[in-house]
């Protein structure tokens, strides 16, 4: 991707709250250290790894929090520790399941 200047994008960066992501001890400890939310720690990890994210929220407070990421920086060790949380597969979608592929293909967007 780097060779062709393609930027990766995080789809559902909070994995729809699954796997108790907001209760993860590492995320909680970093959130306390930096006086941030666990969501902000996730978004900062993405930003520092040059991964585009567009987190969705209908909550005004969460929308504000999602953009307040410029006043702290995660260390290299913290970035590495957070990278270890990666499951190496999608938590939300099973792209090996043909029915899931068909379901995604049939999503209709209303404009």
Mean pLDDT, rounded, of the chain: 87
Residue 74 lies in a domain: yes
Helix (H) or strand (E) holding 9: strand 9-10
pLDDT above 90: residue 106? no
Task: Record the pTM.
Answer: 0.78
CATH number of residue 75's parent domain = 3.20.20.100
At residue 47 the predicted structure's pLDDT band, cuts being 50, 70 and 90, is very high
Instruction: Answer yes or no: is 83 within a domain.
Output: yes
What gap in Å lies between CA 41 and CA 14, rounded to an integer?
Answer: 11
Q: What pLDDT digit, counting tens, does each position of 65-92 carry?
A: 988 899 999 999 999 999 998 877 677 7
Model pLDDT, residue 87: 74
For the CA atoms of the chain, what is the radius of gyration?
16
Residue 110 lies in a domain: no
What the block records as the tokens of 56 is 């969705």
- Cα separation, 9 vs 7, in Å, equals 6
The residue range of the domain holding 35 is 2-105
Evaluate if residue 33 carries a pLDDT over 90.
Answer: yes
Residue given tokens 């999608």 in the structure block? 90
């Amino acid at each position: 991707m780097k060779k062709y200047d393609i930027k990766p994008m995080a789809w559902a960066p909070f994995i729809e709250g699954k796997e108790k992501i907001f209760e993860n001890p590492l995320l909680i400890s970093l959130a306390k250290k930096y006086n941030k939310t666990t969501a902000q720690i996730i978004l900062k990890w993405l930003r520092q790894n040059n991964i585009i994210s567009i987190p969705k929220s209908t909550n005004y407070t969460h929308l504000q929090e999602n953009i307040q990421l410029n006043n702290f920086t995660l260390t290299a060790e913290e970035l590495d520790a957070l990278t270890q949380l990666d499951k190496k597969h999608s938590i939300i979608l099973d792209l090996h399941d043909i029915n899931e592929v068909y379901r995604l293909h049939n999503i209709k967007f209303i404009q």
